């Protein structure tokens, strides 16, 4: 019996030794480093679908349509303060070209110096309003807006299409959210949005149903073809160039009707593009600077230095 067990032990011994040797060799091998997926960090070990997916690319600034802002301005004590506030906003907007038009027979020194130090692309124009149109109750800034339109058409008339761009009218007493410029930049023809602090109400807006403008929430003359403030719309540059005779009219135009008189030359209500979450967000305010109290200002200059305000 003992000899039988001993013979079986000798028979199994070589196989046991072979198994021990193999296990010893495997344990002595150094583990290979984890292979990093393409585009991921070394040793991240994440699947390619998660780690190798590139981050979303921002649209190159050079590919953005240029926004052209036409701003009429006129001499008054708060002019430089108003322009400074507006320039501080515009400097934060990519690819914006400011068309600043003075109501004057010549460029003023104040605005000329201001434009030189504004730090953004700017075209400085001037055209005076005829004295007969300066009476109270008549539309204002007509000549200045038309001068801006004429410059824009002249600049682009010899360039081949398409010429991506967007135009809006930025009065110097308005306040703008930067979000508004993101909204208007995608304008295909004419886009619209609400305006705050206008028409004797907290806001006015186009009424939108199923993505289309169907009416107007306004405090004054809702029967206007386009019951909207000058700060409440933007126009594609292509539309401006394809309608060379579309201007702001003097003859027959009434206060508060300039927007309608202009827009009905280039579009219809059905074609309007609602922005700002279907016209439910206010991104521009028709603010007005308080009338300055200069009751103690001397009639003649008494200070030893001259300071531009």
CA 46 to chain CA centroid, Å, is 38
Q: Which two tokens stand for residue 85?
A: 């506030």
Q: Which of 301, 189, 284 is nearest to 236 (CA)?
A: 189
Are 269 and 226 in contact by the 8 Å Cβ rule? The answer is yes
Listing from the earlier edge strand, what are the strands of the sheet with 273-274? Answer: 122-126, 96-102, 66-73, 165-169, 233-236, 190-192, 273-274
Q: Which of 82, 102, 143, 259 is catalytic?
A: 259
For 177-225, the DSSP string reads -HHHHHHHTT-SSEEE--EEEETTEEEEEEEEETTEEEEEE-SS-TTST
User: Which residues make up each annotated binding site for Mn(2+)?
Assistant: 173
Phi, psi angles (nearest 5°) of residue 78: -100, 10
Q: Which of 51, 224, 247 is nearest to 152 (CA)?
A: 247
3-state SS assignment for residue 62: helix
Residue listed under structure tokens 């304008």: 187
209 is annotated as an active-site residue: no
User: Which residues make up each annotated binding site for UDP-alpha-D-glucuronate?
Assistant: 72-74, 103, 140, 145, 171-173, 286-288
User: Which residues make up each annotated binding site?
Assistant: 72-74, 103, 140, 145, 171-173, 286-288
Catalytic residues, by residue number, are 259
């Amino acid at each position: 019996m003992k000899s039988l067990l001993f013979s079986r032990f000798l028979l199994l011994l070589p196989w046991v030794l072979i198994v021990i040797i193999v296990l010893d060799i495997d344990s002595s091998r150094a583990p290979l480093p984890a292979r990093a997926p393409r585009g991921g960090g070394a040793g991240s070990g994440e699947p390619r679908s998660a780690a190798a997916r590139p981050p979303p690319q921002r649209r190159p600034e050079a590919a953005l349509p240029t926004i052209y802002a036409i701003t009429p301005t006129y001499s008054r004590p708060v002019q430089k303060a108003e322009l400074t506030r507006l320039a501080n906003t515009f400097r934060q907007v990519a690819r914006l070209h400011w068309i600043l038009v003075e109501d004057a027979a010549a460029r003023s020194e104040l605005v000329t110096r201001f434009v030189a130090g504004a730090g953004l692309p700017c075209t400085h124009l001037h055209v005076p309003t005829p004295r007969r149109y300066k009476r109270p109750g008549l539309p204002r800034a007509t000549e200045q807006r038309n001068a801006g339109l004429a410059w824009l058409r002249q600049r682009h008339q010899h360039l081949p299409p398409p010429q991506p761009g967007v135009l809006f009218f930025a009065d110097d007493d308005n306040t703008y959210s930067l979000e508004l410029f993101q909204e208007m930049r995608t304008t295909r023809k004419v886009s619209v949005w609400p305006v705050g602090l206008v028409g004797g109400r907290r806001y006015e807006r186009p009424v939108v149903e199923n993505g289309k403008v169907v009416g107007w929430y306004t405090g004054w003359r809702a029967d206007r073809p386009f019951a909207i403030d000058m700060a409440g719309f933007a126009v594609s540059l292509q539309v401006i160039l394809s309608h060379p005779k579309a201007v702001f009219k003097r003859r027959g135009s009434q206060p508060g009707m300039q927007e309608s008189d202009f827009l009905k030359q280039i579009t219809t209500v059905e074609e309007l593009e609602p922005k700002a979450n279907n016209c439910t967000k206010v991104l521009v305010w028709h603010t007005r600077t308080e009338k300055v109290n200069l009751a103690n200002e001397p009639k003649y200059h008494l200070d030893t230095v001259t300071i531009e305000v």
